[in-house]
Amino acid sequence: NPHSEYRPSANPNDPRSVYSPPNPNDPGRTDKALCGEVLQALAAQAFSGAQIELIWRLIAGVLHLGSVAFDPNRADAASVLPSSQASLPACEAVLGLNPGTLLKALCKRKLKVVKEWVEQDLSLAAANDNRDALSKAIYSRLFDRIIAQINVALQGGEQQVLDDGTARIIGIVDIFGFEVFENNSLEQLCINFANEKLQALFTKAVFKETIEAYKQDGIDAAEITFTDNADLLKLIEEPKVGVLAILSEECLVPKGSDGAFCEKVHEKHAKSKLLTRVKGKSASQGFGIAHFAGAVTYTVTSWLDKNKDPLSGDLEDLMRFADNEMLRDIFEEGSAAPEKGKKFKSTAFKGVINTFQSQLKSLVEVLDASSLHFVRCFKSNDRKAPDLCEESVLSRQLHTSGVLDALRVARTGFPDRLPFDEFCGTFAALYRGPPADLEKLSPKDRCLTLLKQLGTDAAKYKVGRERIFFGSGVLDELKAQRVALMASVAIQLQAGARGLVAPPPRRGGPARRA
């Protein structure tokens, strides 16, 4: 929450604190009030007062790091500008580091020469990368730590109350929407790639599984057609030749560059209809991808730097020996020795993209194993203007998202299906005749007899090898008939019960007093 960053610099109990002016449209939403909400939310997740204080210190450390600036005139040996010297001891204090250690870790690196360790000055660019990478690492790991604590709190405390193997959960995935701007970079490719993966899940849930169910029961599925994005996913994530794999490979090249990466992408996919050259740009400046939601042009400036996001080993070691307990913990996670029989993790290069792909894969695996329900959100216009609805914009999104295809399949196909035994067990009560007559038949014939007696249109259902497939609305109509029958029986039972418990009527009318 960005409002939490006001906390270290604006203590609500400190009269010297300076807050930003209140919003005239909402005078109650001050920095002090927002800070109180964050404190209350953290306490609700079972964070102790001491832990909350450590969180503020880490955030303050990130803010102080952002104030550290290096002398632009010393490109080969980085040094901190005098104007930002005060930020270093302040950062060391809140992070619990020994004085002077942060400056050395930011501006120098240790090298082992023969049997001795020597220090080497870092360049200006390397020092800037060190500072930025450390800031990102602290904030990112702190964020993960808070999410982990929220999950524990939602489970009911420290003790695990759910068995991961048998627990049933209801989850909501609110994913960032498809993005296309005037200038699209690596961040937009990641976001749009995630949307492509979710689109593939939508296609599988709505179309592929339906077709497979038809085939298993010997029902013709030729009338079902849909647009698949498998080729586009292959373009982005295929090992060795996919766009993301080429990016990771270029990060390993000693003199790798954004331009060389882009040229390799065009070379590998020269015959692809999904990846195109950008009009007015060379093959080293960018490329276009035909996503399911529309074409997007990507500019590859700084992609290698964004993917590397380097954090030196010296800085990691420094964080692990900090006096700030939470800082020490979030940097020690995953650094312990492996259990017996297990190997150490590979030291091969893993960039931001690799981490993103791994997390996205885990998410998709969870979703793929779940019963999915989709809520589609559409932009009313491309200008982000309020109270403006453009029909062409909505129509484009309805077509590209597969919603219209899904509606067509639902209307012309058979979206509901039940095994023979389940259908008979549910609707046998509607049979008008001796139950024994129905029991003599095979499960399949029982279903056909029931449907014929109930007057169900034969064109609105298909009988497979083991299941019956119903057209849209048919199963709901049958359930309504069953509920109506149960209601009439309930009324009869209630009348009989009242008759049993009611006192018998007196003969000769009501008694009179003498």
The CATH number for 88's domain is 1.20.120.720
Structural domain count of the chain: 3
CATH code at position 393: 1.20.58.530
**Judgement on whether residues 237 and 265 belong to the same structural domain of the protein:** yes
CA dist., res. 224 & res. 215, Å (int):
12
Identify the three-state secondary structure at position 45: coil
**Judgement on whether residues 402 and 438 belong to the same structural domain of the protein:** no
Closest CA to 297 of 284, 279, 282: 279
Task: Indicate the pLDDT class of residue 80, thresholds 50, 70 and 90.
Answer: very high
- Per-residue model confidence (pLDDT) at position 501: 81
Report the predicted TM-score, pTM, of the whole model to 2 decimal places. Answer: 0.67
208-220 burial by CB neighbour count: b if 16+ within 10 A, else e?
Answer: eebbebbeebebe
Angle at 413 between CA 408 and CA 417, to 5 degrees: 135
Q: Which amino acid is at 361?
A: K
Task: Report whether 96 contacts 90 (CB < 8 A).
Answer: no
**Judgement on whether residues 437 and 404 belong to the same structural domain of the protein:** no
Q: What is the pLDDT of residues 223-281, one digit of tens each?
A: 677 778 999 999 999 999 999 999 999 998 888 999 999 999 999 999 999 999 998 88
Angstrom CA distances, 114 to 111, 117, 300, 312, stand at: 10, 8, 40, 21
CA dist., res. 61 & res. 90, Å (int):
8
**Judgement on whether residues 81 and 107 belong to the same structural domain of the protein:** yes
Task: Report whether 121 contacts 132 (CB < 8 A).
Answer: no
Q: What is the pLDDT of residues 464-510, one digit of tens each?
A: 999 999 988 899 999 999 898 888 888 888 888 888 887 777 766 55
Q: What is the pLDDT of residues 82-136, one digit of tens each?
A: 999 999 999 999 999 999 999 999 998 877 676 777 888 889 988 998 899 899 8
CATH code at position 450: 3.30.70.1590
Residue 342: inside a domain: no
**Judgement on whether residues 322 and 471 belong to the same structural domain of the protein:** no
Task: Report whether 288 contacts 278 (CB < 8 A).
Answer: yes
Q: What is the sign, positive or negative, of the torsion defined by CA atoms of 290, 295, 300, 303?
A: negative
* pLDDT (mean) for 314-340: 78
- 388, pLDDT greater than 80: yes
Print the domain residue range for 398: 177-308+376-413
Task: Report whether 277 contacts 266 (CB < 8 A).
Answer: yes
**Judgement on whether residues 163 and 192 belong to the same structural domain of the protein:** no
- 28, pLDDT greater than 80: no
If you ran DSSP here, which 8-state letter would residue 23 be given? B
Residue 93: inside a domain: yes
145 Cβ contact partners less than 8 Å away, ≥ 6 residues apart: 326, 329, 330
Closest CA to 91 of 52, 128, 135, 133: 135
Residue 346: inside a domain: no
Residue 228: inside a domain: yes
Positions of E strands within 244-354: 275-276, 286-291, 294-299
Residue 385: inside a domain: yes
**Judgement on whether residues 386 and 424 belong to the same structural domain of the protein:** no
Give 206: exposed, middle or buried? Use CB within 10 Å, 0-12, 13-18, 19+: buried
Tell me the average pLDDT of the chain.
84
Q: What is the pLDDT of residues 429-460, one digit of tens each?
A: 888 888 888 888 999 999 999 999 989 998 88
Residue 359: inside a domain: no
Phi, psi for 141 (deg, rounded to 5)? -70, -35
Phi, psi for 261 (deg, rounded to 5)? -60, -50
**Judgement on whether residues 292 and 183 belong to the same structural domain of the protein:** yes
**Judgement on whether residues 150 and 7 belong to the same structural domain of the protein:** yes
- Per-residue model confidence (pLDDT) at position 345: 45
Angstrom CA distances, 253 to 246, 261, 297, 303, stand at: 11, 10, 25, 14
Residue 343: inside a domain: no
CA dist., res. 473 & res. 460, Å (int):
9
* pLDDT (mean) for 58-81: 92
**Judgement on whether residues 267 and 397 belong to the same structural domain of the protein:** yes
